[in-house]
Amino acid sequence: MTTVIMIFILPIGIVIYFWDKKNYRQALELFESFILKIKDSDLSDDNIIKNIEMMFYKNDYSIIKLKNGHFIAEKKHFNIGTLLIMFGLMNVIGLVLYLVFYKFFLKPRQLLIDLKSDNVLKAL
């Protein structure tokens, strides 16, 4: 059974891991284009910030700092590819280790949004 898991689950986990990394880059590009579109609109500064905050909330990010057009959005990202890789390498122990890692040690991904500069979105 262990060999079957390693033959099938491990490669699937590796593919999903890299697919997830590609999707994250695409999501950052979408966030940046949305922010630029909203920033260049005729809305007031308060409405611009509310729209951007709403977009991040809808994508499960939380806003942790906000002042003068700068804020940081963060999200703890559960990567199913990494979970499958751990499961493929260490079976059930790998599942438990990844869940412990996710709960206690994984730091959230942070995005810096700066509405005053040309580079409005930067991953920290």
Task: Report pLDDT digits (tens) over 71-89.
Answer: 889 999 999 999 998 888 8
What pLDDT, in 10s, does the model give residues 49-62? 888 889 999 999 99
Q: Residues 28, 123: contact at Cβ < 8 Å?
A: yes
pLDDT at residue number 2? 67
Structure tokens belonging to residue 44? 């007031």
Q: Residues 109, 75: contact at Cβ < 8 Å?
A: yes
Whether 26 has a pLDDT exceeding 70, the answer reads: yes
Percent of the chain's residues with pLDDT above 70: 98
What is the biggest distance separating any 2 CA atoms in the chain, rounded to whole angstroms? 61
Tell me which residue range forms the domain holding 14: 2-123
pLDDT at residue number 90? 83
Alpha helical stretches, state H, the chain: 2-39, 45-58, 80-100
- CA 7 to the chain's CA centroid: 29
Tally of domains within the chain: 1
